[in-house]
């Protein structure tokens, strides 16, 4: 039974290191409201297991044999119904950015404390960003202007000026309040902090974020943040 039907959050673990998968299974098995429904050792297996188990959240490593986590994340998110959170280290900025543009909802470092991993899975399932503000700014800033980013981010525009023009055209579809919410998302703020900043209820913020994603024709908050950074607003 899925989380949407009142059951536990269903999680898929994807990592080529069985020790990592074992540790994650132990961490996620403690609270009782999360169930690990499958494991995979590479991207090819991950796509197949995701299709068979329909998880709410997939935790996906970046570097794996046969098929990497980025292409697997792209296919899993395209199928719909599963949020993808990338597992990474600080040395993999480019790969993480490519995964975010491919539709992943965020990332976790492999040394993230257990309680934060559990919280991140719950946030991802609820559509919240799984990105700390400081690291989000660092990674997204590299995506929109960093050296070499155009070579590693699939579908990136050919240059900074073109990137900014496209982003500004997209943002022109937003109303004033929607634009304020989009900028706050670009800063990596969760809904509760956005509500406090803009004097809005959390439920109202969620509604605005959904409208912003619809207007910008993107699938998640990370992609909203990238548009905002492309436009130079953060």
Report pLDDT digits (tens) over 58-76: 999 988 988 988 899 999 9
Closest by CA position to 189, among listed 118, 136, 127: 136
Residues of the chain with CATH 1.10.10.10: 158-230
Categorize the per-residue pLDDT at 159 as very low, low, confident or very high, splitting at 50, 70 and 90.
Answer: low
Instruction: Give the residue-averaged pLDDT of 138-147.
Output: 53
Residues of the chain with CATH 3.40.50.2300: 3-130
pLDDT in tens, 172-189: 999 999 999 999 988 878
Instruction: Give the residue-averaged pLDDT of 130-151.
Output: 52
Instruction: Give the residue-averaged pLDDT of 39-60.
Output: 96
Spatial distance between the Cα atoms of 150 and 121, rounded to a whole number of angstroms? 30
Alpha-helix residue ranges (DSSP H) falling in the chain: 18-29, 43-53, 69-79, 93-101, 114-125, 133-145, 149-152, 160-171, 176-186, 191-198, 202-216, 221-230
For the 3-130 domain, the top CATH level (class) is: alpha beta
pLDDT at 146 over 50: no
Return the higher-pLDDT residue of 67 and 94: 67
Neighbour tally for 187: CB within 10 Å? 18
Which neighbouring-strand residues pair with 86? Answer: 60, 107
User: Measured in whole angstroms, how far is the alpha carbon of residue 22 from the centre of its chain?
Assistant: 23
Neighbour tally for 78: CB within 10 Å? 11
Categorize the per-residue pLDDT at 232 as very low, low, confident or very high, splitting at 50, 70 and 90.
Answer: confident
Fold for the domain defined by 158-230: Arc Repressor Mutant, subunit A (1.10.10)
């Amino acid at each position: 039974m899925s989380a949407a039907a009142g059951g536990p959050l269903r999680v898929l673990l994807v990592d080529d290191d069985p020790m990592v998968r074992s540790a994650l299974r132990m961490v996620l098995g403690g609270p009782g409201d999360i169930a690990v429904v499958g494991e995979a050792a590479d991207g090819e297996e991950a796509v197949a297991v995701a299709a068979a188990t329909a998880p709410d959240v997939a935790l996906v490593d970046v570097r794996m044999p046969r098929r990497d986590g980025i292409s697997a994340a792209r296919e899993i998110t395209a199928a719909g119904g599963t949020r993808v959170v990338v597992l990474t280290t600080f040395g993999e900025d480019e790969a993480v950015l490519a995964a975010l543009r491919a539709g992943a909802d965020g990332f976790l470092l492999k040394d993230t404390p257990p309680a934060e991993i559990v919280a991140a899975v719950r946030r991802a399932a609820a559509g919240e960003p799984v990105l700390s503000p400081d690291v989000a700014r660092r990674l997204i800033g590299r995506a929109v202007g960093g050296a070499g980013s155009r070579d590693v981010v699939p579908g990136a525009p050919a240059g900074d000026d073109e990137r900014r023009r496209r982003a500004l055209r997209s943002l022109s579809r937003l109303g004033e309040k929607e634009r304020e919410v989009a900028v706050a998302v670009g800063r990596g703020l969760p809904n509760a902090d956005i509500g406090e900043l803009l004097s809005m209820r959390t439920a109202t913020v969620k509604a605005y974020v959904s409208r912003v994603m619809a207007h910008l024709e993107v699938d998640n908050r990370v992609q909203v943040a990238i548009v905002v950074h492309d436009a130079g607003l953060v």
